[in-house]
Amino acid sequence: MAIEARNVTKRFGDFVALDDVSIEVESGSLTALLGPSGSGKSTLLRVIAGLERADAGDVFISGKEATALAPQKRGVGFVFQHYAPFKHMTVWENVAFGLSSRKRPKAEIAKRVDELLELVQLKGLGKRYPSQLSGGQRQRMALARALAPEPEVLLLDEPFGALDARVRVELREWLLRLHDEMHVTTIFVTHDQEEALELADSIVVMNKGRVEQIAPPRQLYDEPANEFVMSFVGPVNKLGDAWVRPHDIELRHEPNGSTREAQIERVVRLGFETRVDLVRDDGERLHVQLTRDEADQLELDAGDIVYLRTRHERTFTA
Amino acid sequence: MTARRLIRFGSLGYLALILVAPVGLIFWRAFEHGWHPFWVAISNPDAVHALKLTLEVTLVAVPLNTVFGVLCGLAIVRHRMPGMGLVNALVDLPMALSPVVVGLSLYLLYGRQGWFGPWLTDHGVRVLFAYPGILLATTFVSLPFVVREVVPVLREIGTEQEEAAATLGARAFTTFRRITLPAIRWAVAYGVVLTTARSLGEFGAVAIVSGGIAGRTQTLTQYVQASYDNYSQTSAYAAAVLLAGLAILTLLLMTKLRPREEVHGNRGA
């Protein structure tokens, strides 16, 4: 295991940020800490980095006990949500900081910084100040800075949170390629389930300071452990006590034995996919996802009455 | 338009009446009969000594309060310890307290009947009516400026850059030297300028503890008063011009620093 947190508890006054949390992160993996705000995911990341001291529990990094170790000695690279650039230093000096503060030879520093700037596609921007960079460039600078001292573990706090949508998608793909090349164990924090599903090998779903489930993306989506995971990861409908994904519902014009009836409120065509908004007698609303061909065949229109049949329906015992 | 004009003329008129006229008058009276009398007045040995003493005190008090001010600012902002609220309030005391009270309290501490006075006298250290007393009084009254400039800036820059430095392997002192200090440098510079101005101009507290012996424990401000009391008005005006000149010099330094601080602030945004 590259990283292990055992029974970690952290309180801020009366607020319990982490409540007996245990996770294991495999060496070389890309793990997401996923959860709504206030779920404790950033606190857990900061405890692993040594920026917060846990009230109880232990942290192991690369098999070594790190619970009481200062952040300087953990061999951890950390990228802050707003990148925390050193504003008075150039991009080059920012990236060099981890090496120059360890008093490495000048030639070695220069070589490594140039390599990293090339890797994060900031070659030629080394003399600029952080304020002269775009959000995406600043993010990559922060990443290069964190990677410079060759950390065993890379921790990213909401790495794409402060970027606009297009840049975010580009950077995601880029980070994935980077991770494939570098193979440094990486944990990133996100509240965006799509981001977690796309990037991570393993997802830790957190809620109210507790771990709800740890699983690979596909398993998390197909076999959620409880209602929270089901509703937080992926789109979902509630049919009475049962939960159904929008793409697991079939629509028919005739009952065919189905007792579930609903009226079409709206048909939204989104390219390949068509979304049908339904309302049931009891006022419950549903979204159904169909391919364009399916929708065309059914000739659905607003106001139509349709009958529902579900493929994977799920109920959880509380 | 009229409201705007009222504001402009009102503020300028106020400044002219309260600030420019009196200071200008001093300059005018000092140079009324040309450069020569001015030169004679300020090359008087007592005047030269007073200037030297004032500068000597300022050159020690300012570095002392700068180092203390930065450390104190860090303690107040970065270390949530019980008692820091009290420290924060205490730092303002010299601003609230009349300098005369400060002088008096030093007198009570270091005087012949004071708490430390007899012990120090036995060990041959003289505080009152000597350089140490003047230094203590000046340091006391000029203490808050660096702290007050540094604290809001430390709050504003937050801890993220320092945390980033820590995860990159920098020790606490390296982080301070390479991250924190550069981030607060203009605030420190601004505080130094204000501390200097205050130290140069201190009168009340020093008047009580220095004794004001001409050629020995007389600072420049006291020299001005003594000259004025002795009806040697040319000397008084000349020394006052010297003081005003030093003050204006520090102010110019400050205005030279300020735009750079703003440019830096924009760059950081």
Does A206 score more than 50 pLDDT? yes
Q: Distance between the two ends of chain A, CA-based, in angstroms? A: 32
Closest partner residue to B160 (CB to CB) among A77, A80, A88 is A80
pLDDT band (50, 70, 90) for residue B264: very low
Read off the pLDDT of residues A235-276 as tens digits, 9 standing for 90 and up. 899 888 889 999 999 998 888 777 788 999 999 988 889 999
Indicate whether B263 pLDDT > 50.
Answer: no
Do A92 and A37 form a contact (C-beta atoms < 8 A)?
no
Please provide the size of chain B in residues: 269
* Contacts of A106 by beta carbon, 8 Å cutoff, 6+ apart: none
Q: How confident is the model at residue B122 (pLDDT cuts 50, 70, 90)?
A: confident
Query: Which distant-in-sequence residues (6+ apart) come within 8 Å of A252 by Cβ?
Result: A258, A298, A306, A307, A309
The confidence score (pLDDT) of residue B268 equals 38
B168 touches chain A (CB under 8 A): yes
**B48 — contact with chain A (CB < 8 Å)?**
no
pLDDT in tens, B196-254: 999 999 999 999 999 888 889 999 999 999 999 998 888 999 999 999 999 889 888 87
Interchain contact, A78 vs B165, CB within 8 Å: no
B152 interfaces chain A, CB cutoff of 8 Å: no
Query: Residue A28 pLDDT > 50, yes or no?
Result: yes
Average pLDDT, chain A: 92
Q: Tell me the one-letter amino acid at B146.
A: V
Q: Which two tokens stand for residue B263?
A: 């440019």
Residue B269 is predicted with a pLDDT of: 33
B212 in Cβ contact with B129 (< 8 Å): no
- Which runs of consecutive H residues, i.e. helices, occur in chain B? 2-15, 21-30, 35-42, 45-78, 84-91, 93-96, 99-110, 117-122, 131-141, 144-157, 160-167, 172-175, 181-201, 204-210, 220-229, 233-268
- Residues A236-311, CATH architecture: Beta Barrel (2.40)
Q: Is residue B262 predicted with pLDDT exceeding 80?
A: no
Angle at CA of residue B189, ends B184 and B192, nearest 5°? 125
CA distance B193 to B247: 10
Mean pLDDT of A163-177: 86
For residue B48, the one-letter residue type is V
Give B-chain residues touching A93 at CB under 8 angstroms: none
The shortest C-alpha distance from A71 to chain B (Å) reads 5
Q: Which of A93-97, A256-260, B120-124 has the lowest mean pLDDT?
A: A256-260
Average pLDDT over residues A188-197: 93
As given in the structure block, the two tokens for residue B114 are: 């004071």
Task: Assess B267–A contact: CB distance below 8 Å, yes or no.
Answer: yes
Single out the residue of A88, A95, A172 nearest to residue A136, CA to CA: A172
- Cβ–Cβ below 8 Å for A84 and B168: no
ipTM: 0.86
Report pLDDT for A288: 93
Banded model confidence at residue A122, pLDDT cuts 50, 70, 90: very high
DSSP A174: H
- B57 to B60, B135, B137, B213: CA distances (angstroms): 5, 6, 10, 16
The domain B35-268 having CATH identifier 1.10.10.10: the answer here is no
Chain pair A-B, CB pairs under 8 angstroms:
68
Residues of chain A contacting B264 with CB distance shorter than 8 Å: 88
Please tell us whether the domain made up of A3-229 is placed in CATH 3.30.420.40: no
Fold match, A3-229 / A236-311? no
Q: Is B78 on the interface with A (CB under 8 A)?
A: no
B56-75 pLDDT, tens per residue? 999 999 999 999 999 999 99
Contact A80 B183 (CB under 8 A): no
Domain boundaries, chain A: 3-229, 236-311
Nearest-CB residue to B168 (from A70, A85, A97) = A97
Beta bridge partners of A274: A269, A290
| Interaxial angle between packed helices B45-78 and B84-91, expressed in degrees from 0 to 180 and rounded to the nearest 10 | 150
Chain A contacts in chain B segment 245-264 (CB below 8 A): 264
pLDDT digits over B89-106, tens only? 899 999 899 999 999 999
Q: How far apart are CA B173 and CA B55, in angstroms?
A: 32
Interchain pair A145, B164: CB under 8 A? yes
- For an interface test with B, the pick among A48, A73, A87 (most B C-beta atoms closer than 10 Å) comes out as A87
Residue B260: pLDDT band (50, 70, 90) is: low
pLDDT, tens only, B130-139: 999 999 999 9
% of chain B exceeding 90 in pLDDT = 61
Q: Does residue B266 surpass a pLDDT of 80?
A: no
Q: What are phi and psi of A119, to 5 degrees?
A: -60, -40
For residue range B150-201, list pLDDT tens digits in order: 999 999 999 999 999 999 999 999 999 999 999 999 899 999 999 999 999 9
Q: Which residues pair with A273 in a beta bridge?
A: A270, A291
CA distance B167 to B146: 29
B178 to A87: CB separation less than 8 angstroms, yes or no: no
Residue of higher predicted confidence among A107 and B121: A107
Q: In what order do the strands lie in the sheet with A273-280?
A: A249-252, A305-310, A260-270, A273-280, A285-291
Mean pLDDT of chain B: 89
**Which residue of chain B has the CA closest to A71?**
B167
Residue B259 is predicted with a pLDDT of: 57
| B215 backbone φψ class: left, alpha, beta (φ>0; ψ -120 to 50) | left
Q: Is B5 on the interface with A (CB under 8 A)?
A: no
| Overall average pLDDT of the A22-41 stretch | 95
Check CB contact of B153 with chain A, cutoff 8 Å. no
Looking at residue A318, its pLDDT comes to 62
CB nearest to A131's CB, from B167, B171, B269: B269
Model confidence at B265, pLDDT cuts 50, 70, 90, reads: very low
Q: What is the pLDDT of residues A215-239, one digit of tens each?
A: 999 999 999 999 999 999 988 998 8
Q: With CB atoms and an 8 Å threshold, state whether A87 touches B170.
A: no
- Asked if B165's CB is within 8 angstroms of A86's CB, the reply is yes
Higher pLDDT, B74 or A162: B74
Its sign, for the CA torsion A157, A163, A168, A174, is negative
Q: Quick check: A284 pLDDT over 50? A: yes
